[in-house]
Amino acid sequence: MCAVADVFPQTSATGHVIAEIIPVFTATETSQLNFGRFAPGPEGGKIILNPQGSVSVLGSVYKGTGMHNAACFYVTGDQDASFSITLPDKPVILKHLNSPKTMIVDEWVSIPAPGAGTGSLQNGSQTVYVGATLNVGTLHDNPAGIYSGTYEISFDFN
């Protein structure tokens, strides 16, 4: 006896593949953190610059005329994506341009607040505002002149 094999017809189908590249996640400083002009008093003190850009002074520091402003970062990426903000966790040193004298910046704050997923790229962008506290010594500790430094802030795409 001969076995008869069942033969089934074969068919094929074409599948489709989709991939989408999202916009690159970027952050750009659009405004520098600027504590403005001031004069140290006999005991020094602090200049507190909040993320909204207003300044308050503690101790014997005399606020001068001129501009001051919070830092501003423009963050872009995929529409409606969330991101995390990490501010400096250590004090930042500002150095006098013509002497070895320094000042310390600490107590960093931001809007939106730092942390995981606190930022949201509505329509693919968001502005982040950053403030901090400048610790000012006496005039002997901090002579007249310009002090500058850099800091790092991280934006992580979630």
pLDDT of the residue at 58: 95
What is the reported pLDDT for 22? 80
Q: Are 143 and 68 in contact (CB under 8 A)?
A: no
Confidence of residue 9 (pLDDT cuts 50, 70, 90): confident
Residues constituting the chain: 158
**Residue 38 one-letter amino acid:** F
Question: What pLDDT, in 10s, does the model give residues 81-120?
Answer: 999 999 999 999 999 999 999 999 999 999 999 999 999 9
How many CB atoms are closer than 10 A to CB 47? 22
Q: Are 121 and 83 in contact (CB under 8 A)?
A: yes
Quote the pLDDT of residue 2. Answer: 63
Q: What is the pTM of this model?
A: 0.86
Give per-residue pLDDT as tens, 143-154: 999 999 999 999
Higher pLDDT, 14 or 4: 14
DSSP string, 24-63: PPEEEEEE--B---EEEEEEEEEEEE-TTS-EEEEEEEEE
Residue 155 is inside which H or E element, if any? strand 154-157
**Within a 10 A sphere around the Cβ of 24, how many other Cβ atoms?**
9
Q: What is the DSSP letter of 140?
A: T
The residues, ordered by sequence, that sit 6+ positions from 88 with a Cβ below 8 Å of its Cβ are 106, 108, 151, 152, 153
The predicted structure's pLDDT at residue 64: 86
Predicted pLDDT at 5: 65
CA-to-CA distance for 61 and 135, rounded, in angstroms?
10
